[in-house]
Amino acid sequence: MYTASKERYTAMEYNRCGNSGLLLPKVSLGLWHNFGDTSKFENIRELCFTAFDNGITQFDLANNYGPEPGSAEKNFGRILKEDLGGYRDELIITTKAGYDMWDGPYGNWGSRKYLLASLDQSLKRMGLEYVDIFYHHRMDPDTPLEETMGALASVVQSGKAIYVGLSNYDGETLKKAAVILQELRCPFVINQNRYSIFDRTVEKNGLKQMTGELQKGLITFSPLEQGQLTDRYLHGIPEDSRIRTDGRFLKESTLNEHRMGQIRRLNELAGQRGEKLAEMALGWLLQHKEVTSVLIGASRPQQILDNIKAIACAPFTEEECRFIDEISQA
C-alpha cells in the first residue's frame, strides 16, 4: 500500500493562480503521453507516486488522452482508487473537453451537450464526484461563446468542478470569454496554452498579455517542445524516443541542422549556467510573472526528478534573455 513521503511539501514551490485563492505547484504533471493503455501500468503508477512524493499536487488530463481516448483517465482513476484516494483533498485534478472524443455531431468542439456529457464520462472513468478544474480545450468557431461559457458555469453550479479554465484560446477571445464568465459568477482562474523557448504563440496572439491584465493563471504545456529542449537529441535520435515510437507530435524532419544548431547553442548556455538544458528551458518559463506552472510529461520517474530542479534555476540576466530570444528567432 502506498504511503506518500512526509517530505513531499519541502521539495516544491507553489504560485498563486492569478488573483484566486488557488495555489499550484510550479511544476505539474501532464498525462497526455505515456499514461494510456499502450503504457505499462506499473510505470504509470510510479510516475504518479514520484510526482506526488515531490510536491507535485496537480495532475492534468483530458477526455481524449490515451491511446485509446479515455484510457489515461481510466488508469488514473485506478490509481486514485487503489493508492491516492486517501490524499484526494491534497490533489488538483483537471480534465478538458473540446477535441474529438466519440462519433457523431455531439462528440467534439464546444456545445453544451458535448461538454456536459464529456465531463460526466470523465468523472465516471476516474471514479470522482468532481474535478478541481474543468477546461474547454479549444476555441469553437461555430458555437456561440455564450453557450460554451454557460456550460462551464453549469458544471460549477452542479458541483462537478470547483474552477474552470480555457485552453488554446487567443487573447481577444479570452477577454470576451472572461467577461461572460464574470457575469455568470463562474470561477474562471486559469489558461492552458503551448509555450516554450521555441514556441512564442502566446506572445504573438495576445494571450500572455491578456492573461496578466485579467489576473488569471497560465499553465504551459509542451514547455520542452516534445523533448527538443533537452539533451535527448544532441547525439542523434535514440531508438526508444517518441520520434521512433510515435511520430505524430515530433517528426524527424523537425530536427534539421538549423534546429539542431539552435539546440546546441542553448545547451551551451545552460552549461555556462551550471544547468541542464531542460532545467534552463523550464526555468526560463517560470521567470515570466504570468506563468503559474509548467506542465511536464514523463516516461521515467527520473525525468520528473530532473525537471523539478527547474524551480531552483538561477535568475536570468538581460543578456541571457536577449541571447535566448536571438537563438529562438534565428
3-state SS track over the chain: CCCCCCCCCCCCCEEECCCCCCEEECEEEECCCCCCCCCCHHHHHHHHHHHHHCCCCEEECCCCCCCCCCHHHHHHHHHHHHHHHHHHHHCEEEEEECCCCCCCCCCCCCCHHHHHHHHHHHHHHHCCCCEEEEEECCCCCCCCHHHHHHHHHHHHHCCCEEEEEEECCCHHHHHHHHHHHHHCCCCEEEEEEECCCCCCHHHHCCHHHHHHHHCCEEEEECCCHHHCCCCCCCCCCCCCCHHHHCCCCCCHHHCCHHHHHHHHHHHHHHHHCCCCHHHHHHHHHHCCCCCCEEEECCCCHHHHHHHHHHHHCCCCCHHHHHHHHHHHHC
Q: What percent of the chain has pLDDT over 90?
A: 90
Average pLDDT over residues 156-162: 98
Q: Which domains does the chain have, with CATH numbers?
A: 14-228+278-314 (3.20.20.100)
Looking at every residue in the chain, the average pLDDT score rounds to 95
**pLDDT exceeds cutoff 60 at 192:** yes
The pLDDT value given to residue 330: 79
Type of residue found at 48? C
pTM of this prediction?
0.95
Residues sharing a CB contact under 8 Å with residue 246, sequence separation 6 or more, in sequence order:
33
**pLDDT exceeds cutoff 70 at 312:** yes
Give the model's confidence band at 112: pLDDT under 50 very low, under 70 low, under 90 confident, else very high.
very high
Type of residue found at 193? N
Q: Are the beta carbons of 171 and 150 closer than 8 angstroms?
A: no
Which pLDDT tens digit goes with each residue over 65-95? 999 999 999 999 999 999 999 999 999 999 9
**pLDDT exceeds cutoff 80 at 110:** yes
Give the model's confidence band at 245: pLDDT under 50 very low, under 70 low, under 90 confident, else very high.
low
DSSP lists the bridge partners of residue 29 as 59, 296
**pLDDT exceeds cutoff 60 at 247:** no
**pLDDT exceeds cutoff 70 at 250:** no
